[in-house]
Amino acid sequence: MSEKLSLKSKDLLEERIKYIKQLFPEVVTEGKINFEKLRLILGEEVNGTKERYELNWVGKNEAIKTIQVQSSGTLIPVIDESINFDKTENIIIEGDNLEVLKILQRSYYGKIKMIYIDPPYNTGNDFIYPDNFKEGLNDYLKYSGQINEQGFQLSSNTETTGRLHSKWLNMMYPRLFLARNLLRDDGVIFVSIDDHEVKNLRYLLDEIFGEENFVAEIVWEKVHTRKNSAKYFSDSHEYILCYAKRKITKENEEGWVRNLLPRENTDAYSNPDNDPNGPWKPDPIYANNPYDADYEIVKPNGVVLKRPPGKYWRYSEKTIKEAIENNRIIWGEGDSYPMIKRYLKDVQDGLVPVTLFTREFAGDNALGNDELKNLLGAEKLFPYPKPSKLIQRLIQIGTNEDDIILDFFAGTGVTGDAILNMNKDGGNRKFILIQLPEPTKEGSAAREAGYKTISEICKARISKVIQKIEESGKSFEGIGFKFFKLTSSNFKIWDGEKASQNPDELAEQLRLFVNNIQEGRTKTDILYEIMLKSGFMLTDKVEKIDQNKELYSIKDGDLIVCLEDFIDKDLITKIIELHPKQFICLDSAFHNQDQLKTNTVLEFKEAGIVFKTV
């Protein structure tokens, strides 16, 4: 029989067991790990004591189990709400980020270069997610109005719960864990946070990424005005924690490499004497710090100079002699100390980033508010949106021109804004933005402006950015975005538990599965689910290869998908002639032609084509 395409997200537990089996095959039997054997093999490296240094909180075990629960959801394309759908590689996804991160595991595992997130800061009641986070997709469907059920509650993280930090950590842990999987080995994550959770977030990231992969704790100047009403200190900053997926070491040379920041001011360099080496600036030849050099310099006017009292020569005697021979010394008048030419061409291509991001360097809250107002024409649509300049700085440090950047707490879409504007100068960075359709508050500026959800603001902002770029004449190939919504699978999921309860339930399940496609789903919806669950990216090339049939080539023939309701011998022969790596079709298309299906399995196997049905 043909192999069935799995309709669930990647089984991360199975992946980890496979990895352990590769390292220690003797400790895995029938898919189970023998921890006593593993402990014996590792010997003293195993910490068997109950007391150890670690971050713990109420619900941590449940948060870990949440990661292991597979999702059967999918992402359906909404082409009429997209811009340049067929050509762009940018993506906006409306849905609960936990479910979406699970769904992306097959297609985007190890493919994202940079993640930036600005998660809820846990100030008391400013993040809302489905109440029982373990339930996943069903809760999201109820929350977003796709499933009607009376009494469904939302979780508001208020002080009255008595578990303020625990609920925040439970929300963050599985999302960060899944996010790390999506990063390339040379990838990096930046997380914005304030004083409320910076300590716990640091512990959390240490556990998930490894404390050895901590890079920096950046301080960002979010405001410059002093609040005289502050009880103790006027709060002027937030933090951005930076962790590499892997830092470069002697053992690992494939880790994240930070970029230098571009030099934006070279006014100090000039070339008044037409030096053939190009622009230069004068540098002193002595310094305050001790250097192991002590010699005399004889100026052309005969003045002999020793190092100044309390100062030290900055260069060796050999370097100074070579500079004199190459006319790199500016002697000066009388007994003044000479200067040495520092050429612009010899200076490294950029500046090493520092951990203090001033508002002049990276913008502030006021700039973020002004940007959103100027784009969408209304004030206070979203609390404290980050300025795009801040995200651009992180992108400059963390990525190269063709990389994919993920933001799964997208908010107003500032990360997409930053990337689109950076690409005006020839870059080809791509974004994936994920935002929950969190309702805007009744009577809020956002609701008054017509935005029912935060995700609507995000989509509107990116649309407006694209419009402005096109109006400026700086449009580029690939500008736009594909818009997707999280929903349940296009296929009815067999409920074995119900079917086993009694004959009537079994009969009902069998009746439903005569046609296993959900009502109201389109061929395009089905196609993208098959792509995702076969490990293809949402932006991989899709071509219809027969205008008379529902036959699609994915990624130049790596996968061929047939969505015809009826399959015959001629169609199968045509597929074999095309020789894709994989072929997937609807199981119902065989219409109980068991002999044809059996022969098809054998023919595809002989041709070296992976054949699956769904």
Residue 431: enclosing H or E segment and its boundaries?
strand 430-435
Query: For 201-215, how does the pLDDT look when each residue is reduced to its tens digit (9 = 90+)?
Result: 999 999 999 999 999
pLDDT at 505: 60
Residue 305, classed as helix, strand or coil, is: strand
The DSSP line for 569-598 is: HHHHHHHHHH--SEEEE-GGGGTT-HHHHH
> Given phi > 0 = left and psi -120 to 50 = alpha, else beta, which region is 609?
beta
pLDDT at 132: 45
- 500-520 burial, b if ≥16 CB within 10 A, otherwise e? eeeeeeeeebeeeeeebbeee
Catalogue all structural domains in the chain, each as residue range(s) with its CATH number.
9-52 (no CATH), 65-262+351-487 (3.40.50.150), 280-343 (no CATH), 496-613 (no CATH)
Reported confidence tier of residue 163, pLDDT bands at 50, 70, 90: low
* Other beta carbons less than 10 A from residue 184's beta carbon: 18
SS3 content of the chain, % helix, strand, coil (to 5): 35, 20, 45
pLDDT at 291: 76
> Is the pLDDT confidence value at 447 over 50?
yes
Question: For 86, phi and psi rounded to 5 degrees?
Answer: -75, -20
Reported confidence tier of residue 307, pLDDT bands at 50, 70, 90: confident
pLDDT at 516: 84
> Is the pLDDT confidence value at 592 over 90?
no
Instruction: Report which of 63, 293, 36, 336 is spatially closest to residue 175, judged by C-alpha positions.
Output: 63
d(CA 244, CA 213): 5
Least confident of 9-23, 486-500, 536-550: 486-500
Query: For 429-442, how does the pLDDT look when each residue is reduced to its tens digit (9 = 90+)?
Result: 999 999 999 999 99
pLDDT at 456: 98
Question: For 211, phi and psi rounded to 5 degrees?
Answer: -65, -20
> Is the pLDDT confidence value at 133 over 60?
no
Most confident of 248-252, 289-293, 523-527: 523-527
pLDDT at 162: 42
pLDDT at 410: 98
Query: For 101-125, how does the pLDDT look when each residue is reduced to its tens digit (9 = 90+)?
Result: 999 999 999 999 999 999 998 766 5
Instruction: Identify the DSSP state of 133.
Output: T
Query: For 407-416, how does the pLDDT look when each residue is reduced to its tens digit (9 = 90+)?
Result: 999 999 999 9
> Is the pLDDT confidence value at 576 over 80?
yes
Average pLDDT (296-303) is 93
Least confident of 16-25, 56-65, 122-131, 404-413: 122-131
CB 485 within 8 A of CB 144: no
pLDDT at 338: 93
In whole angstroms, how large is the CA radius of gyration of the chain? 30
> Is the pLDDT confidence value at 155 over 60?
no
For residue 414, give every residue at least 6 positions away whose Cβ sits within 8 Å of its Cβ, in sequence order, or none: 368, 371, 385, 386, 387, 388, 391, 461
Reported confidence tier of residue 143, pLDDT bands at 50, 70, 90: low
> Is the pLDDT confidence value at 559 over 60?
yes
Average pLDDT (156-185) is 82
Most confident of 145-159, 243-257, 276-290, 567-581: 567-581
Reported confidence tier of residue 24, pLDDT bands at 50, 70, 90: confident
d(CA 144, CA 130): 10
Q: Does pTM top 0.85 for this prediction?
A: yes
> Is the pLDDT confidence value at 185 over 60?
yes
> Is the pLDDT confidence value at 52 over 80?
no
Reported confidence tier of residue 497, pLDDT bands at 50, 70, 90: low
Mean confidence (pLDDT) of the chain? 89
Reported confidence tier of residue 488, pLDDT bands at 50, 70, 90: very high
Reported confidence tier of residue 151, pLDDT bands at 50, 70, 90: very low
Average pLDDT (126-152) is 58
